[in-house]
Amino acid sequence: MSEVRVKRVAIGVTGGIAAYKSIEVLRGLQQAGCEVRVAMTRHACEFVRPLTFRALSGAYVIVDDYSAENPDPIAHITFSQTIDLFVIAPATANTLAKLANGVADDFITSTYLACTAPILIAPAMNSVMWSHPATQRNVQKLRNDGVRIIEPDDGEMACGTIGPGRLSHPERIVSVALEILGETRQRLSTSESKPVQDLIDERILITAGPTREPIDPVRFISNRSSGKMGFALARAAMQRGAQVRIVAGITTVVPPSGAEVIETTSAEDMRAAVIREIDDATIFISAAAVADYRAKHSSPKKLKKSEAEMILELERTPDILKQVGLNKKTGQLMVGFAAETDDVKSNAQKKLSQKNLDMIVANDVSREGSGFESDNNAVTILVRDNPLSIDIPLSSKPEVANRILDEVVKLRRRTTSAMSAKHSKL
Ligand code: PMT
């Protein structure tokens, strides 16, 4: 039986006000059983003293690997070649720019270039800096290089501005780090073993899986949806405190325990179930692959084959998401999916506006190893009134589900603060 080796994680701390939060990241990883070492930039030392991290990690904290005090002359190799994960948190705009362009002028950027382990970066900066095209270009470059990025949270910043840019919650960083390490969220050994309960007040209705449109008692029109994406969203939402109800088509995987499941077959069945349940939902996520067409006249008896070709007359099925989106109640959030094979973003953008959605998750379903039936997915998230799309590279559906829910939480916070600002003016 192979012995399970302790996971080794290096944390690179760069010079932002959120540097102190890396202490919580360090503690969370240690509590999950990881061995953690820390490196800092000189600027980071302005915010937190290396001694703090040394006391907590029990190891020398590298700021300048040429320093006489450094007991390890080839620290950047030791660091980069012997770890299982390199976490850079917080990452400033300057650090992102250097990493994206291969600049290696300090220990952290050199270690980044020499690192063969997965890399997880949690940026933190002023909102305007975060939204700047240059920063977004650097983030996209890093994503394209295979780096996992944890998007900053929305909220009030130390500099007084409100918006995206605040370092993601340390528990979230730890949770994603453990998932990358192949651990489960539940391996956290402390009371924080529950993921952040940021959906505790939400009642989420999720559709999952394919619908089946009968041609005759034997034949039907359907698709390859398994239900995995919808069920991953349901599972993740429940882990984060939401009450979840699922309207499922004929799925090939088992729904998560703890969710109420309403089983349906055709698009009309699914529509009727959604219309029954939607008034009680605060969020609707439409992950189901609802057939767009059905036989205009399905036969009560098996159609006999003959030498002649069989012509099927098809008609449109009801567009559930559009019907719900056009009638959404104040405060309800509508999240759709877009299964595309070309012009993914522009097709998704059209659905976002035509169906009056708050968010749409676009996936290229022609991509090998992603989308229908796969355990993985790669998605682009478009949010109404936000020109910046969020690209999530190929990841497990549970990870994609959490990233989607991260954006839902941010959207909820934005809409809540906008509504309270409006009420305070009345
Ligand atoms: O189930 P898996 O195997 O895990 O696969 C996941 C998935 C590929 C099915 C999922 O990621 C996905 O893309 N789901 C949406 C598939 C789909 O029907 O996309 P669409 O672009 O055809 O529809 C757009 C949106 O309208 C979707 O939210 C869909 O649920 C909804 N719709 C579509 C048709 C219809 N008649 N009523 C609807 O509500």
What are the tens digits of pLDDT across the range 53-77?
998 888 889 997 777 777 777 777 7
> Please, which contacts does 412-419 make with residues 24 or more away whose CB atoms are closer than 8 Å?
412/202, 412/283, 412/333, 413/154, 413/155, 414/154, 415/331, 415/333, 415/358, 417/162, 419/331
Residue with the larger pLDDT of the pair 415 and 157? 415
Of 105-109, 202-206, 294-298, least confident by mean pLDDT is 105-109
pLDDT digits (tens, 9 = 90+) for 350-373: 999 999 999 999 999 999 889 999
pLDDT band at 193 (very low <50, low <70, confident <90, very high): low
**C-alpha pair distances (Å), 87 with each of 122, 150, 205:** 8, 10, 35
pLDDT attached to residue 336: 98
The atom of ligand 1 lying closest to the CA of 323 is 39
Ligand 1 pocket: which of 211, 221, 224, 225 to mutate (most atoms within 8 A of CB): 225
The one catalytic residue in 34, 45, 115, 159 is 159
Only one residue has tokens 């919808």, namely 230
Residue spans of beta strands (DSSP E) within 332-396: 333-340, 359-364, 376-383, 390-396
How far, in Å, is the centroid of ligand 1 from the Cα of 79?
A: 44
State the DSSP code for 47: H
pLDDT band at 419 (very low <50, low <70, confident <90, very high): low
Q: With a 6 A CB cut-off, is 351 part of the ligand 1 pocket?
A: yes
How far, in Å, is the centroid of ligand 1 from the Cα of 339?
A: 6
pLDDT band at 217 (very low <50, low <70, confident <90, very high): very high
> Has 159 been annotated as catalytic?
yes
- Average pLDDT taken over every residue of the chain: 89
Q: What percent of the chain has pLDDT over 70?
A: 93
Does 5 have pLDDT greater than 90?
no
The atom of ligand 1 lying closest to the CA of 324 is 39
Q: With a 6 A CB cut-off, is 263 part of the ligand 1 pocket?
A: no
**Phi and psi for 221 in degrees, rounded to 5?**
-100, 130
**C-alpha pair distances (Å), 201 with each of 78, 179, 242, 304, 306:** 46, 25, 6, 54, 58
pLDDT digits (tens, 9 = 90+) for 360-407: 999 999 998 899 999 899 999 999 988 888 989 888 899 899 999 999
How far, in Å, is the centroid of ligand 1 from the Cα of 275?
A: 17
Residue with the larger pLDDT of the pair 258 and 14? 14
Q: With a 6 A CB cut-off, is 248 part of the ligand 1 pocket?
A: no
pLDDT band at 2 (very low <50, low <70, confident <90, very high): very low
Does 112 have pLDDT greater than 70?
yes
pLDDT attached to residue 115: 87
Pairing of strands 333-340, 148-149: unpaired
Whole-model pTM: value is: 0.63
The atom of ligand 1 lying closest to the CA of 287 is 14
Arithmetic mean of pLDDT, 219-238: 96
The atom of ligand 1 lying closest to the CA of 322 is 39
Amino acid, res. 58 = G
Query: Residue 270 has which token pair?
Result: 């699914």
Q: Whose CA is nearest to atom 25 of ligand 1?
A: 337
How far, in Å, is the centroid of ligand 1 from the Cα of 416?
A: 28
**Highest mean pLDDT: which of 15-19, 26-30, 351-355, 420-424?**
351-355
